[in-house]
Amino acid sequence: MKRATFTILFYIQKTRIAKNGQVPVLLRVTINGQRVVISVNLKVNPENWNAVAGRSIGNTRMDNELNARLDTIRLRLMQIYREMELDRQPISAQKVVDKYLGRDDKPAIMLLDVFREHNDRCRKLAGNGMAPATVERYETSYKHTAEFIEFTYNKKDVPIVDINHKFITDYEFYLRTERKCNHNSATKYLKNFKKIIRIALANDYISKDPFINIRFKLEEVERDFLEAHELKAIMEKPISVRRLAQVRDVFVFAAFTGLAFSDLKGLKPEHLFRDNNDDMWIRKARQKTRNMCNIPLLDPARQILERYKDNPECITKGVLLPTLCNQKMNMYLKELVAICGINKEISSHSGRHTFATSVALANGVSIENVAKMLGHSNTNMTRHYARVLDKSIKQDMDLVNGKFADTSVAIS
């Protein structure tokens, strides 16, 4: 078995100078590359400190007492390390320091306990500062973390002090392989997990951030959307299956309003109002950001609302549309576009992209107005939804062509 590398280093914190000119002495314990730094509650004149020797070179009684105390600390740490080695205990820098500080007798703080406490708080905030979808995402992240621990370590939980860089990279590998998550999904789960680590750091459960040198970057995803002729094909297709007809209507409503799925699901009569010109509008705060959406109700969307005004399910739930769960909605949409002969990967969110691109921008609506209707705080967010259609390119280039219509190229 390979012997662990174990080093003890005393050094001074030059940036914290007391009124008497002294600086604190810090202890750094390193085992197999993992470091733990603590204060030893000792101070020294920085001019007397020898960084190489890790001790004071002064000749005063205080300097001699300081060096004696440092020697005692070093010997005690080496003794603890040796005892753990003889007892064949798992050895880490944190465990050695905990034993030195007398913290090893306390029950270990477990990772999933911290995760559960966080999620319990999130559930209480659902609908009051935190979107229910965010709460659900943390629940799913907790489930994946628990399954990873069971799969990798054959345990129900692990001490939070054992979370290191390898744990993070192994967890990402598990998400990408065993859970079959794509890059963006795995990244989002790791970001959720990082919040739990930040809580542990803030509460001094751990002393080192295992996410150091780990950077997250989401890949740009080009979501499919429907062009005008494809949207029209879905609208005009006779659908005899009730569940598909309802899914078609909800999707088309999204394509003419730009509402996200969570906002469609929570759309209620109080979100409709008439202006001074008797035109109907949707005015609703987005569930995700709480930004207000102001959307004129176009005729296709108005017709769909009229279709479901007496729907028993809508009346019972107090909503305007019979919306299924997102998973079933996406599943039925695949079936729907296949029936309509459309070869695209369409999801419930594609309705929002369709509204921004094919319904609004392609018909001359300014990007500022599209941003307002989508509930975006700035147009940079809206540009993610905006696509350049071939139709728009052709229209612009036809204007250019017209300016050169009477000009011919000279023959050499």
In a domain, 119, yes or no: yes
Q: Residue 255 has which token pair?
A: 């394509």
Q: What is the pLDDT of residue 134?
A: 84
CATH number for 253? 1.10.443.10
The angle that helices 93-101 and 61-86 make with each other, rounded to 10 degrees, is 120
In a domain, 348, yes or no: yes
174 plus 265 within the same structural domain: no
In a domain, 404, yes or no: no
233 plus 193 within the same structural domain: no
312 plus 276 within the same structural domain: yes
Q: What are the pLDDT tens digits along the chain (412 aa)?
A: 456 789 999 999 988 888 889 999 999 999 988 899 999 999 999 999 999 999 999 889 999 999 999 999 999 999 999 988 887 788 889 889 988 887 766 677 899 999 999 999 998 887 777 777 788 899 999 999 999 999 999 999 999 988 999 999 999 999 999 999 989 899 999 999 999 999 999 888 887 889 988 888 877 666 778 888 899 999 999 988 999 999 999 999 999 998 988 888 889 999 998 888 888 999 888 877 777 888 999 999 999 999 999 999 999 999 999 998 888 999 999 999 999 999 988 888 888 889 988 888 888 888 888 888 888 877 777 777 666 555 565 666 666 666 666 655 667 5
Total structural domains in the chain? 3
Domain boundary among the residues 185, 202, 219 is at 202
388 plus 320 within the same structural domain: yes
Q: Which of 311, 335, 331 is nearest to 321 (CA)?
A: 311
Q: What is the pLDDT of residue 374?
A: 85
Q: What is the pLDDT of residue 106?
A: 65
156 plus 290 within the same structural domain: no
Q: What is the pLDDT of residue 363?
A: 84
In a domain, 52, yes or no: yes
185 plus 292 within the same structural domain: no
Helix (H) or strand (E) holding 26: strand 23-31
Q: What is the pLDDT of residue 1?
A: 45
The angle that helices 299-307 and 242-257 make with each other, rounded to 10 degrees, is 140
In a domain, 221, yes or no: no
CATH number for 156? 1.10.150
In a domain, 34, yes or no: yes
The rounded distance, in Å, linking the Cα atoms of 32 and 92 is: 8
Cβ neighbours of residue 163 closer than 8 Å, sequence gap 6 or more:
111, 197, 200, 206, 210
131 plus 278 within the same structural domain: no
In a domain, 213, yes or no: no
- Chain centroid to Cα 83, Å, comes to 43
- Chain centroid to Cα 123, Å, comes to 17
In a domain, 212, yes or no: no
Q: Are residues 96 and 31 in contact, defined by beta-carbon separation less than 8 angstroms?
A: yes
Q: pTM for this structure?
A: 0.57
Cβ neighbours of residue 135 closer than 8 Å, sequence gap 6 or more:
119, 122, 123, 125, 126
58 plus 141 within the same structural domain: no
Provide the domain limits for residue 50. Answer: 6-101
